Each structure stands twice: as C-alpha cells, then as structure tokens.
Chain A
Amino acid sequence: MISFRDVTVTYPGGTVGLDGVTLDITPGEFVVVVGLSGAGKSTLVRSINGLVSVTEGELLVDGVHVDGAKPAQLRRLRSRIGMIFQSFNLVGRITVLQNVLVGRLHATPLLLSLVGYFRPADREKAFQSLERVGIVEKAYVRASQLSGGQQQRVAIARVLAQDPTVILADEPVASLDPPTAHMVMRDLERINDELGITTIVNLHFLDLARRYADRIIGMRDGRVVFDGPPSEANDDVFEQIYGRSLTAEDVLSAEEEAAEAALEAQAEADGEDAASRKATPA
C-alpha cells in the first residue's frame, strides 16, 4: 500500500514538482501516470523510493514513512522497491549477470560484496530473474553489447532480483522503437499479473497508457487532475490533462496493427531463437 497524504515536493531552485498530492495505490495495481513533461509524473514516481525528497506531507510505503527516513531505513525501503529507467542505467562494462546481481547487493554482507562474491542462492535468484524476462542466454555478455530492448529487459531482471513488492518505471519505453516498447510493456504487465507486484509506470504515449493500465493517473502542474480506470480516460479527459487538443505525436503509433504484426513476428523469431539455442549444447 502506497499512501500520499498532501505531499508537496519543492526543488532547491523553487520549482514545484508535486503540489499537495493525496492518493492511495493498493497492492497489485498496475498504475500508469500520464502528463506533459514537467507535469510532475517523474517526481511522483521518484518520491516513492526517496530519490526525490518530500518537502511537506506524508508518504508511506507499506506503513513505513519515506519522508524523513534515515539513510539506513531508506536503503531497507529501497530494497523492496525496484526501479526501471528510461536510459536503462546498466553498467556497460560488466556482464549482464553482474548487473542483475546488483539487485541482490542489499541482501549481501558488505565484505562479501566488496570482494565480488555472491552466495549461491543469490546467483540462483539472478538467473531466475533473467529467465523470467527471457534473456538468460546473455548472462555472461557485457551489458553494453546488448540492444536497447535487451538492456531494458536486463534492467527488469535486476529489479526482479530484488524481490520487490513495488516496481517503479520512469518512462521505461521512451528510448525504444514501437514494437520493442510493446514488448517491454508486456513484460511489465506479465510480471504484474504473475507475481502481483504493484507497478507504477510513467508514460507519455496515450495508447500505451490505455492499453496496459488498470488505473490511469493524469498529472498537470504537480497536481492530480484525473484518477480512474482506462475506460473513463477518453480523449476529452486527455485533452484536459494535456491542456490542448491531441495530436498524432501523443500516440506511439498511428498504425497500431502494423506495430502489433511486427511485435508478433519478432516474438516468434525470439522464441525460435531461444529454442534453437537451447537445442545446441554449449
């Protein structure tokens, strides 16, 4: 359960990120936050794990205060909240597996982690996470050698390795092409379904929001201006959120079906790829 109680975030320069936001997110929900850039959607997501500090009000995650948390408390809290970024934020020079193991650092004693040792159970967890996003065959490849979509899946695996109760995603598909964007959104949707992890995603594409969300939160000038199921979020609502009429740039693809077809084809090719790789002994 995530509870915002009249939360305000003011940045050092005086910019207001959030302006008196009050809302509850119940466990297992798939929430998509939409709004123009600067509307406060990124601030909303980043305040939940304390990457952005709350200036006023109360913010609780599973009953624990994020506002005013001490560094050690904040680390404990963050270990249960996974985060996915627009630019993937992997360390390019280390392997995919090592990147995923970063998600196990919170559970690894300091000295062990400094010499680079992870316990078998943690390594197993990392491999399972990679299997869940279907990229385990790249475990020993350098992260920088993967494509954008593959890197984002590794980032999702890193989050899964944390064993989180909440996943935050800050514009996770903004640097990806449409079919890959759908693939990553589907991964998130599947994880939300199968593991029941509360998922909060920032998006600026309306079609993606309508399609994947259980609940849409619309933001404008740091305030929540819409909160409801996708069925209620019609074009009028979006025009209100955006403060202007909608254009083709507000959707990921005008030709949804073309993207769909490409997606199916790619998924099929991926499946065959994986199958053939499994068949070949290493």
Chain B
Amino acid sequence: MTAPATAQRASTTRPRRPRPRVGTFVAILAVLVITVWAGDGIDFDLAPLWTDFGRGWFIIQEFLAPNWDYVGRTIGPFIETLSIAVIATLVGCTIGLAMSLLASRVTTANPILYRASKIFLSVVRSLPDVGYGLLFFAIVGAGSLAGILALIFFNIGIIAKLTSETIDAVDRGPLEAADATGASSLQRARFAVVPMILPNYLSYCLYVFELNIRASVVIGIVGGGGIGSSISVEFARFNYSNVSAIVVLLIVVVFLIDLLSQSVRRRLT
C-alpha cells in the first residue's frame, strides 16, 4: 500500500538539471595553460622528428637487421640478469615483509616505531631504481652486486607499501581471538596476520620479480651487470644490429616471464 504512494510522490517533482560546475572549466583551463607553459619553457618542438629523420636512417636500418649470430653470446649476460632479479626479489621481499609488519598500525602498536617505519619507507621509495643503480655503482663499483643491491632497495619500497596496506585492511576478528588466547603480538602476526595476507603478498612478490627483469636492464646500463651491461657496451661500439638482437630477445623473455607470473598470480587469489 505504501510503496505506490511513495513512488507517486517521488515522480511528481523531477529535480532540475544541476548547473555545470565552474570548477571543472577552471581545472581544464589550468591544465592546458600549465602544459603550454611547460612546453614553451623547454622550447618543445616536433620538427626534428622529420627534419633529422634521414640522419638516423642508417642506424634504423641496422636495427631492422638484428645480428642473430650475436644471440649465442648473450646467453651468459641474460642468465646473470635473471640471477640478479631472483636474488634481489628473494632478499627484497623478505625484508619488505618484515618492514610491512612494522609499517601497519594493525601489527605495530607502538606509535613511534610505526611512524619511524613509515618515514623510513618513504625515504626508501623517494629514489627510483636507476637512482639506486647509480648509487651502488658509486659505492661497490660496476657488476652484479651493484645491480642486486639497487634492486633490493627498490623492492623493499614497493613490497612494504603494498603489503602494509593489505595488512591495514585485514579482518580484525581472528586477531582479536589470538589476543584473547594470550598470544604475543609477534605470534599473532605469524599465525593470524601472515596467513591472511599470504596470497596477496606472494602476488606482489611475483609482480616485483616482473619489474626486476625490466629494471635490471636499465640498472645494468648504468653499471649493474647483466644484459644491461651488454646493451651499454654494444651501443658504445655502435653495433646497433647486436643491440637490436638483444632487444628482440629481451622483449620475448620479459613477455614469457610476465605470462608465467600472471598465470601463477591468478591462481593465488
């Protein structure tokens, strides 16, 4: 009886269409102005794309003809890149898990420890992967150690951020139950928190592994060892057909690892 009555009452007064908001136009205009201003500031110009095209043509020709004979000699560096990525993922993700427990209010009751961990992780994240590559190249010299150390820091930042946010959203019921048995907060983390976040955490680890394969190439270019070093060397020798062989192979390897990792991740969650 009441339903039709309310329906009728609701349909009598259609709301007037709200006026378009001025804020939207202002925002769009602001973005446009900033973009034009930024482009003007660096004398942005698309002209070299066609005026200088011919100059680079012979390089592109070399690129279009990859030197497949060179592929055999890249296997060693490729394995080094994979090894760097695996070691860095294992170490980085382990430290990252410990840090994520410290950086969540759910598992760290002490406000000073929690704040300090959050700030530490912000600092760790402020440097990009290449930044760490250059830093450790300066500290330990060229080679795989620099690459591994760079990736470990890069991984701690990502893993701790993603995992601590997952911990924040965990169901509090089992935690309360563990508290009620007289378990300590570390025991609670081990038996209630970690099992609940494990699928997400492992999925993040695989994601970070994917990132590491790609990042280790760039880090290798700045002195981190592996296939990146080979690219850097061949570039310096102007062997563009060798570079292109590496790039083609790299695309295949990264694609395969992404496929594998994604299929595993789908099964996890």
- A49 — which chain B residues lie within 8 A by C-beta? 180
Separation of A51 and B180 alpha carbons in the complex (Å):
7
- The residue of chain A having its C-beta at the shortest distance from the C-beta of B193 within the complex is A91
A79 touches B182 (CB 8 A): yes
B181 touches A106 (CB 8 A): yes
A240 is an interface residue with CB less than 8 A from chain B: no
B187 is an interface residue with CB less than 8 A from chain A: yes
Give 1 or 0 for each of A87-98: 1 = CB within 8 Å of chain B CB. Answer: 111111110001
- B177 — which chain A residues lie within 8 A by C-beta? 83, 85, 89-90, 102, 155, 158
Give 1 or 0 for each of A22-57: 1 = CB within 8 Å of chain B CB. Answer: 000000000000000000000000000101000000
- A158 — which chain B residues lie within 8 A by C-beta? 177, 181
B174 touches A78 (CB 8 A): no
Q: Which of A110-118, A133-141, A176-184, A214-222 contacts B (4 or more CB under 8 A)?
A: A110-118
Select one of B182, B186, B191 contacting A91, CB under 8 A.
Answer: B191
A78 touches B181 (CB 8 A): yes
CB distance from B98 to the nearest CB of A (A): 12
A186 is an interface residue with CB less than 8 A from chain B: no
- B187 — which chain A residues lie within 8 A by C-beta? 105, 108, 110, 113-114
Select one of A51, A92, A93, A108 contacting B179, CB under 8 A.
Answer: A51
Select one of A88, A93, A106, A116 contacting B196, CB under 8 A.
Answer: A93
A93 touches B198 (CB 8 A): yes
Separation of A90 and B196 alpha carbons in the complex (Å):
11
B56 is an interface residue with CB less than 8 A from chain A: no
Task: State whether A77 and B182 are in contact (beta carbons under 8 Å apart), knowing that A89-B173, A102-B177 are contacts in the complex.
Answer: yes
A78 touches B198 (CB 8 A): no
- Category for how many chain A residues contact B: 35 or more
- B186 — which chain A residues lie within 8 A by C-beta? 110, 114
A76 is an interface residue with CB less than 8 A from chain B: yes
Residue of B173, B174, B196 ringed by the most chain A CB atoms within 10 A: B174
Separation of A159 and B199 alpha carbons in the complex (Å):
28
Select one of B173, B181, B183 contacting A82, CB under 8 A.
Answer: B181
Residue of B181, B187, B192, B198 ringed by the most chain A CB atoms within 10 A: B181
- The residue of chain B having its C-beta at the shortest distance from the C-beta of A115 within the complex is B190
Separation of A235 and B192 alpha carbons in the complex (Å):
43
CB distance from B126 to the nearest CB of A (A): 32
B191 touches A94 (CB 8 A): yes
CB distance from A212 to the nearest CB of B (A): 22
Interface residues of B in 194-234 (CB under 8 A from A): 195-196, 198-199
Task: State whether A105 and B178 are in contact (beta carbons under 8 Å apart), knowing that A75-B184, A113-B190, A114-B186 are contacts in the complex.
Answer: yes
A87 touches B173 (CB 8 A): yes
Separation of A105 and B176 alpha carbons in the complex (Å):
14
- The residue of chain B having its C-beta at the shortest distance from the C-beta of A103 within the complex is B181
A79 touches B181 (CB 8 A): yes
A162 is an interface residue with CB less than 8 A from chain B: yes
CB distance from A127 to the nearest CB of B (A): 17
Give 1 or 0 for each of B60-86: 1 = CB within 8 Å of chain A CB. Answer: 000000000000000000000000000
Separation of A49 and B191 alpha carbons in the complex (Å):
20
Separation of A51 and B177 alpha carbons in the complex (Å):
10
Select one of A88, A92, A105 contacting B181, CB under 8 A.
Answer: A105
A89 touches B182 (CB 8 A): no
Separation of A158 and B180 alpha carbons in the complex (Å):
11
Interface residues of B in 155-186 (CB under 8 A from A): 173-174, 176-184, 186
- A78 — which chain B residues lie within 8 A by C-beta? 179-182
Separation of A102 and B196 alpha carbons in the complex (Å):
15
A93 touches B183 (CB 8 A): no
Select one of A83, A88, A114, A116 contacting B180, CB under 8 A.
Answer: A83
- B173 — which chain A residues lie within 8 A by C-beta? 85, 87-89
Select one of A75, A102, A110 contacting B191, CB under 8 A.
Answer: A102
B195 touches A106 (CB 8 A): no
CB distance from A162 to the nearest CB of B (A): 6
The 6 closest A-B pairs by CB, nearest first: A79-B182, A106-B182, A89-B177, A78-B182, A89-B173, A105-B183
Q: List 7 A-B contacts (CB under 8 A).
A: A85-B177, A90-B174, A91-B191, A91-B196, A102-B181, A105-B182, A110-B186
